[in-house]
């Protein structure tokens, strides 16, 4: 008897994300590799800048200018840049695009020259580069010339082994080709030892590719992650090898960029496989146009018929495996268990887009992202959706490519050793103390994780050096509940019952909830009375409706924004799930509308009996049945009237104290309300 057909559950789509991210973590370079790459690239850039200065002095002579003409020199500095033989150095390839993989660390730079590069210029730069590298760093590098490839190759002498290739080129090469294609006569005589023109054109194309990638692909969610995963697939499976490089990047950007919403890594990978499986690579398919060329150019023209067919068939097979929950076979990994231990969410998540910080030796103009282009009549539906899409508070607070203090310090002082001094606190809330020594001075800082502690140490070092720290950070020790409460009070504007003020009120309440969330992220969300905010707000205002405003992020880092409207005022809350977002929205409403508690609660507090009343605050009357029981609304003493029974919390003589503020009712009210709200009980009520 054949086994029953197994229908794919919705959980498998989430498993695609888990497998894709697990594979990405396995192939992502280690921190040591990235630091080595950053050091080698920055050393080479600084050395090339020194070589450019040396060449400029050689050409102009060693005549010194007058000391009084310093201002004039500064003004003419930019003009001199255009007359230099070496115009600048730019990162291209995997370094510029952030596509480095573990063990696959091919580094490339492009050295722009004023005139067409020659063999003599290449030799002169290569020889002086050795001298400049020795002056800049103590690390040893081996510099060699590759005249056939019009490049200079640099290799390090330690682990991990790195190879950096410097391509020489000039914009004049492309200008001549364009003029020749237009039919113009060229009267320029090239030097006899000019480098290969095709190699120079390829280097110029890599510059255009890097700028295009940074403007288009880096901003797409999951695009860089999927490209890294498919680059690993191209290295493992020979069938996919011809697609590696620029064609793969174009396909991924087009497949993911045409989606109508941000996608997780698993869904984005499936979309790229669907695109390839549809036959786009076939000879009768649509093909892939190169956006960096003026003339219509097919980016996959180098593929023959058999290669196109093999890649399409392999993509179809991979898509079938993914459809039946076998994506791990496509990725070349073991299947993950159905239930993974939940990792604590780090305070500073890893930015997978930017692997190393940008260069400081040269600052080439970058292409603006599509969203910043103004005045263009672009009717693309994706652009319109991106403009209308609401960003989460985290995305507004910090751009994805911002350089944090740790990166900035590592760029200024490469090779710093951070040491773990101590680990204190309970297991579920640890506090790590890290230290680093800079110029003979030791700095220490603490944080909830080693990474955060290192970040705080870097902030201290930069502050001591008088340098900007990038993003202003607050240490965990300085964030206290009292200070946050004061900050929330200061954020309160004058509330007027006018509809036009609701937007500002919602924005301010969202900021307040973010501040409270930062301070209370270690425990349950409770009000100042120890209750769940949704329950306490429901006691004050019945029948409130919470609406989902926006949902951002993938399956592993969701961010929800919930909104509640009270008396024409809207309050928003942000959280990792709808329950938490609702709680923060309710908390913002309580802080704004009921800062000191309602009048009814104050009246209840004032109705307490005198302290000498018998039976007050006791579990039972001391005199048994003869004890005097106050004749109140509850009448819980003898089982008469409303609230019959001997254990009614409404009577003064019972263990509940007075009203709803007795120990019997409020001792577990906050906790029980929080638990019931977390498990979805109140979700149906709203």
Q: For residue range 449-464, what is the model confidence (pLDDT) as tens digits?
A: 998 899 898 888 888 8
Three-state DSSP at 13 gives: helix
- Each residue of 306-346: pLDDT tens digit? 999 999 999 999 999 999 989 999 999 999 887 666 655 55
Residue 415 has what pLDDT?
A: 79
Architecture of domain 220-336: Orthogonal Bundle (1.10)
**Residue 42 scores a pLDDT above 90:** yes
Q: What is the mean pLDDT of residues 169-192?
A: 80
Q: Which of 102-111, 228-237, 446-455, 487-496 has the highest mean pLDDT?
A: 228-237
**Model confidence at 505, in pLDDT bands (50, 70, 90)?**
very low
Produce one character per residue of 362-388: b if its CB has 16 or more CB atoms within 10 Å, e if not.
Answer: beeeeeeebeeeeeeeeeeeeeeeeee
Pairing of strands 163-169, 151-156: antiparallel
Where in 484-606 does DSSP place strands (E)? Answer: 546-552, 559-566, 569-575
Q: Spelled out in words, what is the top-level CATH class assigned to the domain 481-601?
A: alpha beta
Residue 3 has what pLDDT?
A: 58
Please, which contacts does 415-420 make with residues 24 or more away whose CB atoms are closer than 8 Å? 415/35, 415/39, 418/454, 418/457, 420/450
Residue 74 has what pLDDT?
A: 47
Judging by beta carbons within 10 Å of its beta carbon (0-12, 13-18, 19+), is residue 579 exposed, middle or buried? buried
Residue 346 has what pLDDT?
A: 52
**354: Cβ contacts below 8 Å, ≥ 6 apart:** 98, 400, 401
**Residue 651 scores a pLDDT above 50:** no
Report the percentage of the chain scoring pLDDT > 90.
38
Q: How many CB atoms lie within 10 A of CB 264?
A: 24
**Model confidence at 506, in pLDDT bands (50, 70, 90)?**
very low
Pairing of strands 106-113, 86-92: antiparallel
Tokens of residue 675, six digits: 């638990």
**Model confidence at 397, in pLDDT bands (50, 70, 90)?**
very low
Fold classified for 405-477: Double Stranded RNA Binding Domain (3.30.160)
Contact 628, 634 (CB under 8 A): no
**Residue 448 scores a pLDDT above 70:** yes
> pTM of this prediction?
0.53
Per CATH, 405-477 and 481-601 having the same topology is answered yes
Residue 528 has what pLDDT?
A: 76
Fold classified for 29-62+79-216: Beta Polymerase; domain 2 (3.30.460)
Higher pLDDT, 256 or 638: 256
Residue 362 has what pLDDT?
A: 52
Higher pLDDT, 393 or 160: 160
**Residue 159 scores a pLDDT above 70:** yes
Q: What is the mean pLDDT of residues 583-611?
A: 67
**Model confidence at 41, in pLDDT bands (50, 70, 90)?**
very high
Query: Domain coordinates of the chain in residue numbers?
Result: 29-62+79-216, 220-336, 405-477, 481-601, 615-686
Helix-helix angle 669-678:533-540, to 10 degrees: 100
547 phi and psi angles, rounded to 5 deg: -115, 140
CA distance 404 to 353: 14
Laid out side by side, the sheet with 151-156 consists of 86-92, 106-113, 163-169, 151-156, 141-146
Tokens of residue 244, six digits: 């590696």
End-to-end CA distance of the chain: 49
How far, in whole angstroms, is CA 461 from its chain's centroid?
Answer: 24
Three-state DSSP at 347 gives: coil
Q: What is the DSSP letter of 533?
A: H
Higher pLDDT, 557 or 86: 86
**Model confidence at 526, in pLDDT bands (50, 70, 90)?**
confident
Higher pLDDT, 391 or 432: 432
Phi-psi group of 194: left, alpha or beta (phi > 0 → left; psi -120 to 50 → alpha; rest → beta): beta
Contact 653, 627 (CB under 8 A): yes
CA distances from 479 to 123, 432, 521, 586 (A): 58, 16, 11, 22
Mean pLDDT of the chain: 75
CA distance 237 to 659: 73
Residue 353 has what pLDDT?
A: 62
**Residue 80 scores a pLDDT above 70:** no
CA distance 655 to 634: 13
Contact 243, 117 (CB under 8 A): no
CA distance 253 to 249: 6
Residue 2 has what pLDDT?
A: 59
**Model confidence at 394, in pLDDT bands (50, 70, 90)?**
very low
**Residue 121 scores a pLDDT above 50:** yes
**Residue 468 scores a pLDDT above 50:** yes
Contact 183, 131 (CB under 8 A): no
Residue 447 β-bridge partners: 432
Report the percentage of the chain scoring pLDDT > 70.
64
Nearest CA-CA partner of 551 in 352, 265, 264: 264
Please, which contacts does 139-145 make with residues 24 or more away whose CB atoms are closer than 8 Å? 139/39, 139/43, 141/40, 141/43
**Model confidence at 637, in pLDDT bands (50, 70, 90)?**
very low
- Each residue of 566-586: pLDDT tens digit? 888 899 999 888 999 999 999
Q: What is the mean pLDDT of residues 622-644?
A: 46
Residue 170 β-bridge partners: none
Q: What is the mean pLDDT of residues 258-271?
A: 91
Residue 541 has what pLDDT?
A: 86
CA distance 33 to 334: 25
**Residue 13 scores a pLDDT above 50:** yes
**Residue 655 scores a pLDDT above 80:** no
**Model confidence at 491, in pLDDT bands (50, 70, 90)?**
very low
Interior angle at CA 476, CA 403 and CA 399, nearest 5: 25
Cis peptide before 160 (omega within 30 of 0): yes
């Amino acid at each position: 008897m054949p086994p029953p057909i197994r229908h794919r559950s919705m959980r498998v789509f989430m498993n695609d994300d888990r497998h894709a991210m697990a594979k990405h973590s396995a192939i992502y370079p280690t921190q040591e590799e990235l630091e080595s790459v950053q050091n080698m690239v920055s050393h080479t850039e600084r050395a090339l800048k020194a070589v450019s200065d040396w060449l400029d002095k050689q050409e102009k002579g060693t005549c010194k200018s007058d000391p009084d003409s310093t201002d004039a020199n500064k003004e003419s500095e930019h003009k001199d840049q255009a007359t230099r033989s070496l115009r600048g150095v730019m990162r291209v390839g995997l370094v510029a695009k952030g596509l480095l993989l573990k063990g696959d660390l091919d580094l490339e730079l492009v050295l722009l020259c004023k005139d067409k590069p020659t063999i003599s210029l290449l030799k002169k730069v290569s020889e002086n580069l050795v001298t400049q590298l020795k002056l800049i760093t103590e690390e040893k590098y081996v510099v060699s010339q590759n005249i056939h490839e019009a490049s200079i190759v640099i290799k390090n002498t330690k682990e991990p082994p790195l190879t950096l290739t410097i391509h020489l080129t000039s914009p004049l090469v492309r200008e001549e080709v364009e003029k020749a294609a237009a039919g113009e006569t060229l009267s320029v005589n090239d030097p006899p030892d000019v480098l290969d023109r095709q190699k120079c054109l390829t280097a110029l194309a890599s510059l255009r590719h890097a700028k295009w990638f940074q403007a288009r692909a880096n901003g797409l969610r999951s695009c860089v992650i999927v490209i890294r995963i498919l680059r690993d697939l191209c290295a493992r499976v020979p069938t996919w090898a011809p697609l590696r490089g620029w064609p793969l990047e174009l396909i991924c950007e087009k497949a993911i960029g045409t989606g109508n919403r941000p996608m997780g890594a698993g869904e984005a990978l499936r979309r790229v496989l669907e695109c390839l499986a549809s036959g786009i690579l076939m000879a009768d398919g649509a093909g892939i146009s190169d956006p960096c060329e003026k003339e219509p150019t097919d980016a996959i023209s180098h593929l023959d018929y058999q290669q196109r067919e093999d890649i399409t068939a392999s993509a179809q097979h991979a898509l079938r495996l993914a459809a039946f929950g076998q994506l791990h076979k496509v990725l070349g990994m073991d299947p993950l268990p159905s239930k993974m231990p939940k990792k604590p969410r780090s305070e500073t998540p890893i930015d997978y887009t930017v692997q190393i910080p940008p260069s400081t030796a040269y600052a080439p103009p970058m292409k603006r992202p599509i969203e910043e282009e103004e005045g263009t009549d672009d009717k693309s539906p994706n652009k319109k959706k991106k403009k209308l899409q609401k960003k989460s508070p985290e995305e507004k607070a910090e751009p994805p490519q911002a350089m944090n203090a740790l990166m900035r310090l590592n760029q200024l002082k490469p090779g710093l050793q951070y040491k773990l001094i101590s680990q204190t606190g309970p297991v579920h809330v640890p506090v790590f103390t890290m230290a680093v020594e800079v110029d003979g001075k030791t700095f220490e800082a603490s944080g909830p994780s080693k990474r955060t502690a290192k970040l705080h140490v870097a902030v201290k070092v930069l502050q001591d050096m008088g340098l900007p720290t990038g993003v202003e950070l607050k240490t965990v020790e300085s964030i206290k509940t009292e200070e946050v409460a004061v900050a929330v009070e200061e954020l309160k504007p004058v509330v007027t019952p006018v509809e036009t003020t609701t937007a500002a009120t919602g924005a301010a309440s969202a900021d307040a909830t973010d501040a409270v969330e930062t301070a209370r992220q270690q425990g349950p969300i409770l009000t100042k009375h120890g209750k769940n905010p949704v329950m306490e707000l429901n006691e004050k205002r019945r029948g409130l409706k919470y609406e989902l405003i926006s949902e951002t992020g993938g399956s592993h880092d969701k961010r929800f924004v919930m909104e509640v409207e009270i008396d024409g005022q809207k309050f928003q809350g942000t959280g990792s799930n709808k329950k938490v977002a609702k709680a923060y929205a309710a908390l913002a409403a309580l802080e704004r509308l009921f800062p000191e508690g309602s009048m009814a609660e104050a009246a209840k507090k004032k109705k307490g009996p005198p302290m000498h009343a018998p039976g007050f605050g006791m579990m039972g009357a001391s005199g048994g049945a003869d004890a005097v029981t106050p004749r109140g609304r509850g009448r819980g003493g003898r089982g008469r009237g409303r609230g019959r029974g001997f254990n009614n919390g409404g009577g003064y003589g019972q263990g509940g104290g007075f009203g709803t503020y007795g120990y019997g009712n409020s001792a577990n009210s906050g906790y029980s309300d929080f638990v019931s709200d977390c498990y979805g009980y109140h979700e149906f009520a709203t």
